[in-house]
Amino acid sequence: MAKIVFIDTGHVERIVDAMNGQSVMDAARRNSIPGITAECGGACACGTCHVYIDEAWFSALGERKAAEVEMLEYASDVRENSRLACQIKMSSALDGLVVRTPERQG
Amino acid sequence: MTKDSDAQRVVIIGAGHAGGTAAALLRQYCPEWSITLVGEEPVPPYQRPPLSKAWLKGEADADGLALKPSSFYVEQNITLLSGSRVVGIERGEQRVHVAGGASIPYDYLVIATGARAIPLRTPGADLRGIMSLRTAADAEALKAAICPGQSIAVVGAGYIGLEVAASCRSLGMNVTVLERETRVLARVACEALSSFFTDVHEKQGVHFELGSSVVAFEGERGQVTGVTLADGRTLPCSAVVVGVGAAPDEELAREAGLECDRGVLVDLDARTSDPKIFAIGDVTRRPMPIYNCMFRMESVPNALEQAKQAASAIAGRSRPSVEVPWQWSDQYDLKLQIAGYPFDADSIVVRGDPRQSRFAVFHLNGDLVQAVEAINAVPEFMTGRILIGNRKAIDRRKLADASVSMKEVCA
């Protein structure tokens, strides 16, 4: 189990428990976290689970696959620390991961 | 005096992807209104796409499929009636009748009853082990029937058929796909794509019988043991999945006198022929402004778009802008993404190399992109989708040249 701290554009923090192997998108959906649409349900097909990963954590995540990098090019307000939440798998090493949701998806 | 913002009552018939999304949006737009979501299935709204993929392969659990956790409906004050079947709509009284006798009044009604898998009527079709795949219950039965080393027959080489074939093959079953057309994905993709997918599956060891009709199912003690083809051969199998299409569940609408034509007819507000009644998702036939025609789509993006249209119209908000239709299918490690439909297309441009499993087929009307089918080609899909929507003419030579970036093609 690991905790994820979601922070929205209004600076509201919501902390959820995620299971090892579960994606950040999935954890968000199961806990009704607003700001992540995930239209395709995690198939890396839509780009609407775009999130910003806190600088301190970014390098702890794995490398982005080509499909994710390409998909991110079409999201809004993409930054250096942008990721697709459906492609980040949680583990105890990521306990306390801080994830910020964007102004809008798509 | 009644104000527009006085709490109204919305009833949604059908708690699938469209219905569930409409309920959540309505609550967001109308915090004080009464929202009732009635679904025949015994579970809260969930996603169907993983049923043929992650679910079969044991990579997803029931909670993972749910659109929202059960607590969401309670917290958001959405009355969710699962396992309840609506048996009639009384338009004059503005009530829906539920099996068992209860009736629910509405100010606005949303019909989101979806579609049902079309069954086969061939002799033996009622044998145990012959399944379709539409609901979570279907998927559980199919998952239980998967057994490495055993044989499964898949009838229909559409998305369902091919995704099930890929999943079952990955799990070690012997898979035969039976298709009455001469190519796979005949209704939804072009020939180049059909050949590509047939090759991919065959390389994985899936066997195809194309241009082939099932004339009967054989069985022993009520359980299917084989499929008999028109040429007389019987292929042994321990299970069959039938994926030959879905029919819209329009009966309630038709019986209530709403206009239907192979689906409930709606406009771009998802409104039916009754101004208080809306219809969304797989059950509808709707305008396609980009193609100037009516069409019945079966896709998650359409369900989401129409949920937004209906919720916006009911809440008195401005109509959302029209979206370019799109869909996806995952088979093995291939991602097929399709935007648009090849209506009125007069030519094709292939970009990339099918042998590298990374390419796209563009369908053009003159120099306008009508549709794009992309395999592991995200920029082609995403840019193609934009081009279909903005109707911008492109240079075909640049499009065909994979060394020219899609950004440059659009410039």
CA distance B266 to B247: 17
The pLDDT value given to residue B200: 96
Is residue A5 within 8 A of residue A90, CB to CB? The reply is no
Contact with chain A for residue B376, Cβ under 8 A: yes
A59 against B314, higher pLDDT:
B314
List, in order, residues 6 or more apart from A54 with CB less than 8 Å away. A81, A97, A98, A99, A100
Average pLDDT over residues A42-55: 90
Q: What six digits make up the tokens of A25? A: 């998108």
The pLDDT of B115-120, averaged and rounded, is 96
Mutation pick from B48, B72, B378 vs chain A, by most beta carbons of A within 10 Å, is B378
How far apart are the C-alpha atoms of B297 and B132, rounded to whole Å? 20
Burial of A60 (0-12, 13-18, 19+ CB in 10 A): exposed
Return residues 44-103 of A near B (CB < 8 Å).
Answer: 44-47, 67, 70-71, 73-74
How high is the mean pLDDT of chain B? 95
pLDDT tens for each residue of A78-95: 999 999 999 999 999 999
CB B105 within 8 A of CB B204: no
What is the pTM (predicted TM-score) of this model? 0.94
| Residue A40 sits at the chain B interface (C-beta within 8 Å) | yes
Task: State the nearest Cα–Cα gap between A16 and chain B, in angstroms.
Answer: 13
Q: What is the DSSP letter of B267?
A: -
Tokens of B48: 């169907």
- Residue with more model confidence, B72 or A42: B72
With an 8 Å Cβ cutoff, are A43 and B304 in contact?
Answer: no
Q: What is the pLDDT of residue A63?
A: 86
Q: pLDDT of B123-161, one tens digit each?
A: 999 999 999 999 999 999 999 999 999 999 999 999 999
Query: What was the pLDDT predicted at B1?
Result: 42
**Interface confidence: ipTM more than 0.95:** no
A70 and B49 in contact by Cβ < 8 A? no
Chain B CB contacts of A41 below 8 Å: 47, 49-50, 300
Q: How far is the alpha carbon of A19 from chain B, nearest alpha carbon, in Å?
A: 12
B3 has pLDDT over 50: no
**CA pair distance B131, B389, nearest whole angstrom:** 39
Q: Which residues of B touch A67 (CB under 8 A)?
A: 335, 376, 378
Residue B328 in contact with partner chain A when CB distance is under 8 A = yes
Q: Is B389 on the interface with A (CB under 8 A)?
A: no
- Pairing mode, if any, of strands B151-155 and B174-179? parallel
| Confidence at residue B5, expressed as pLDDT on a 0 to 100 scale | 56
| Beta carbons of B335 and A43 less than 8 Å apart | yes
The stretch B310-339 carries a mean pLDDT of: 95
Q: What is the residue-wise DSSP string for B319-336?
A: PPPPPPPEEEEEETTEEE
Q: Nearest-CA residue of chain A relative to B66?
A: A30
Nearest Cα of chain B lies from the Cα of A43 at a distance, in angstroms, of: 8
What's the confidence (pLDDT) of residue A23?
Answer: 93
Task: Name the residue facing B330 among A43, A47, A73 (closest C-beta).
Answer: A43
The rounded distance, in Å, linking the Cα atoms of A98 and A105 is: 18
Q: How many CB atoms lie within 10 A of CB B296?
A: 19
Would the pLDDT of B376 be above 80? yes
CA distance linking residue A54 with residue A96, whole number of Å: 11
Beta-carbon count within 10 A of B249 CB: 21
Chain A residue numbers touching B66 (CB-CB < 8 A): 30
Chain B CA closest to residue A48: B301
Joined tokens for residue B243:
């994926």
Encode pLDDT of B61-104 as tens digits: 888 899 999 999 999 999 999 999 999 999 999 999 999 999 99
Q: Is B6 a residue whose pLDDT tops 80? A: no
Predicted pLDDT of residue B2: 43
